[in-house]
Amino acid sequence: MEMSEFSSQLEKLIVNDELKEDADAIRWAANTQALASQTPLAKTIDARLETVIRQKMARSKKGASKHDEKSNAEQHERLLDEPTYHDMDTPVSADAGFVTRKVKRNGAWCSFVWLGLIAVGVVAIVAILKVSKQGDEFPTVKPWLPSQYEASITFRMPYMNLVEPVFVHTDEVLGAQKLSFYGGTQEYILNVTGPSYQIIPVIDSIKCFTDGPSSLQHIFPQLTAFEPMHGKTVVNSIECFTWKYDVASTPDNSSYIGTYKLYVNAVTNALVQFHFVGHNVVLGGSHTDEYIIDYNYIREGPVAPQTFHYRVDTLNCTGSSDETINVPTSLSSPWHDLHMRMPEGHDARMEAFDQFALQHGKSFDSSSETMHRASVFHANMQYINSMNRKGLSYSLAMNHLGDRTHDEMKAMFGRKSLKRAADNEAGGVYELKHVALPDEWDWRPQGGVTPVKDQGNCGSCWTFGYVICDMTKVKKKRKSTGMIFLFVNSTTGALEGQWYRKTNHTVSFSQQNLLDCSWDEGNNACNGGLDYQAYRWIIKHGGLEPEATYGSYKNLPGFCHFNASNALARVTSFVNISGVDELNEALVTVGPLSVSIDATPPSFYFYAGGYYNDLNCKSGIDDLDHSVVAVGYTKHLGKTYTLVKNSWSTHWGDNGYIKIAQEDNICGVATSPTYPMLA
């Protein structure tokens, strides 16, 4: 076939769309063969075209139907399956099928390779997306802590069941700050260069006291040492990022560890909560120190200057050393509570604890014990300051119990339950005589009450009082010189009152006499005893020696050296009293009374003055765990309060005394009073 005929046929086929899909393949195959055999390109194209056209023509002769069954894809495959490096006129060898199968296998392998690459790509994309998402769950920018702001925060101490709302205005540019507690019940206005003010309720009115310059307090922690934590957590129903600072990832030389966490809004980066939990791993690992500050609202910006003085201008502020009012001689610093909760407040915390330990003669055997007691001290101090900011009718103050936990004091002060009537062997029950009573009554100025005593670290409550008490010593891994206290009713106190009524002379009877000598009646000295067993001993032995002959209280038992010739106050029996009216009448007509009370509320431990009316102080017979002496009653704003003498030294309460509300029988003062009958 001539070249012109091939060209004519090719053009015809191309025009009829029969070779459009094969044209490029034909040219590629011819070009490849020409390169391999060094044959002119035109000749290879002609040969290739001749073969293709012949095949087309042959298929055309077999009929259009069969031609239609051959797809363009098959034609393309056949073209590619033809041997490239042989003359196109040479017949196809028997190996052609093998070559075709080999190419198909190679194609399959290519498919697998491509699928593998696609899978790797998908995994890589997923990993990238995951890393991107994790990046979204990791805080990268520390929150901004403003220097000019107003804020509403809530301070919480779960250990003390303490919740304290605080509103803060701070302007560091002006050098001024106002802290308002409990809705403005107490306000502290601090000035860096000018006078500072304390606005507080005193009895039934608001008073303003002034003092010198004071540093501003921080409600936000310094974030220098804080590190970001991965992930998000929900705090106060807000999705938050966390910034963390560990006091020690492992126990330090004081065996104290703790963690500060600052939670910020994951979207806005606004502060949500500041939280600290710490504990001493040597002393049992209990969470003795935990506090939380919730940031309810923060508005950044300058504070109007009148905010810091408008209320001061309406009050007659005086110096805090005004002796006509029962206030501290200088402004106390309860506003430092917030500062000492921050990590940077560590030095201030330890300085305050060192002052406490020095004042009360505390010393400790190890740094572990020191850190533990310091954390308890600050929890108690926070409670005291917070309660005082409520504007109550009574006030609290730190005392020698300040480094003891509530559970420790309850364990140390525990006693057996008192049973009334025949169970305590009383000789009778007081009957109301309906005599006219004065508005107030007090045996102290009349000489019927001896000075306040201190039972110390011996569980000798039964020697001080009528009711049952039982000592449970607190066992610790490390020894502390802190005192172990038990709540006592003053047996000798009531006895002293009756002796005064009989003789008009004041005598201090010896508790040590009972501590040393009443073992045969079932008492166990510092490990506890029973009131009626003490009275049974006095009845059997014809009286009790005074301190002048037997000796004063030694805080531990010794050899009994009772001398009957020195005994006074022969007791024949004792009488039960029940009810507020009976209590008041007996106080006037009989004398000082032995009473049992509930002394477990923390507010009782740290009572410092005023009119005590804590409804948490219970009055049930099984709630009474402390023995004291009622010496009279007084009035305040139309309400009656019992004057009670305690046995925790003059460092406690109002020089060792407390005024307890009779309304609702607070603390159970009128539940089970008693007094002895003298021969």
Per-residue pLDDT reduced to its tens digit, 532-549: 777 788 888 999 999 999
pLDDT score of 99 more than 70: no
pLDDT tens digits, 582-609: 999 999 999 999 888 998 899 999 999 9
Per-residue pLDDT at 170: 97
Looking at residue 62, its pLDDT comes to 53
Are 601 and 394 contacting, i.e. CB atoms less than 8 angstroms apart?
A: no
Q: What DSSP string describes 489-542? A: --HHHHHHHHHHHHHS----B-HHHHHHHGGGGT--TTBEE-HHHHHHHHHHHT
Q: Which of 378, 646, 665, 667 is catalytic?
A: 646
Q: State both tokens at 83.
A: 């041997």
Using pLDDT thresholds of 50, 70 and 90, give the confidence band for residue 189: very high
Of residues 76 and 137, more confidence is placed in 137
The pLDDT of residue 18 is 52
Q: How confident is the model at residue 638 (pLDDT cuts 50, 70, 90)?
A: very high
* Selected residue with higher pLDDT from 25 and 431: 431
Indicate if 563 belongs to the active site: no
Catalytic annotation, pick one of 169, 626, 665, 667: 626
Q: Residues 228, 229, 233, 235: is their CA dihedral positive or negative?
A: negative
- Which residues share a beta bridge with 151? 168, 298
Measure the CA–CA gap between 380 and 335, rounded to whole angstroms: 15
Average confidence (pLDDT) over 387-402? 90
Q: What is the pTM of this model?
A: 0.67
The average confidence (pLDDT) of the chain is 77
pLDDT score, position 71: 47
196 — pLDDT class (breaks 50, 70, 90) = very high
**pLDDT, greater one: 663 or 334:** 663
pLDDT at residue 300 tops 60: yes
Cα Rg of the chain, angstroms: 47
How large is the average pLDDT for residues 486-515? 81
Contact indicator for 387, 603 with CB cutoff of 8 Å: yes
Q: Which residue has the higher pLDDT, 349 or 134?
A: 349
Which residue matches tokens 């607070």?
A: 666
**pLDDT score for 476:** 33
Measured distance CA(350)–CA(31) in Å, rounded:
94
- Rounded average pLDDT over 346-370: 85
With tokens 């560890």, the residue in question is: 257
Residue 91 has pLDDT above 60, yes or no: no
Higher pLDDT, 407 or 397: 397
Which position among 461, 469, 517, 617 bears the catalytic label?
A: 461
Per-residue model confidence (pLDDT) at position 107: 63
Match 């504007």 to its residue by tokens.
391
Give the pLDDT confidence of 44-90 residue by residue, as tens digits.
Answer: 555 655 666 666 556 555 554 444 544 444 444 443 344 443 444 44
Classify residue 115 as exposed, middle or buried by CB count within 10 Å of its CB (0-12, 13-18, 19+): exposed
Name the more confident of 33 and 546. Answer: 546
The greatest distance separating any two alpha carbons of the chain, rounded to the nearest whole angstrom, comes to 161
The answer for residues whose C-beta is within 8 angstroms of residue 658's C-beta and 6 or more apart is: 604, 607, 612, 644, 646
Judge whether residue 23 has pLDDT over 70: no
Residue 477, pLDDT above cutoff 60? no
Q: What is the mean pLDDT of residues 135-164?
A: 87
Higher pLDDT pick, 376 / 99: 376
Kind of pairing, strands 528-529 and 626-636? unpaired
Percent of the chain whose predicted confidence (pLDDT) is above 90: 36
Max mean pLDDT range (271-285, 374-388, 409-423, 472-486): 374-388
Q: What percent of the chain has pLDDT over 70?
A: 68
- Of 20-24, 183-187, 408-412, the poorest mean pLDDT is in 20-24
- On the question of pLDDT at 438 being above 70, the answer is yes
Mean pLDDT of 631-656: 93
Q: How does pLDDT run across 269-287, given as a tens digit for each residue?
A: 999 999 988 755 444 444 4
pLDDT exceeds 80 at position 326: no
pLDDT score, position 596: 85
pLDDT at 53: 60
Summarize the confidence of residues 436-453 as an average pLDDT: 93
Give the pLDDT score at 498.
92
> Quick one: pLDDT at residue 635?
96
**pLDDT score of 487 more than 60:** no
Please confirm, yes or no, whether 169 is among the known catalytic residues: no
Question: What's the confidence (pLDDT) of residue 22?
Answer: 57
Angle at alpha carbon of residue 614, lines to 458 and 202, rounded to 5°:
110
Is 617 noted as a catalytic residue in this protein? no
Residue 322 has pLDDT above 50, yes or no: no
Model confidence at 11, pLDDT cuts 50, 70, 90, reads low
Q: What is the pLDDT of residues 210-249, one digit of tens each?
A: 988 998 988 999 898 899 999 999 999 999 999 999 876 4
Calculate ∠ Cα 516-519-524, nearest 5°. Answer: 85
* Lowest mean pLDDT segment, chosen from 69-78, 166-175, 522-531: 69-78
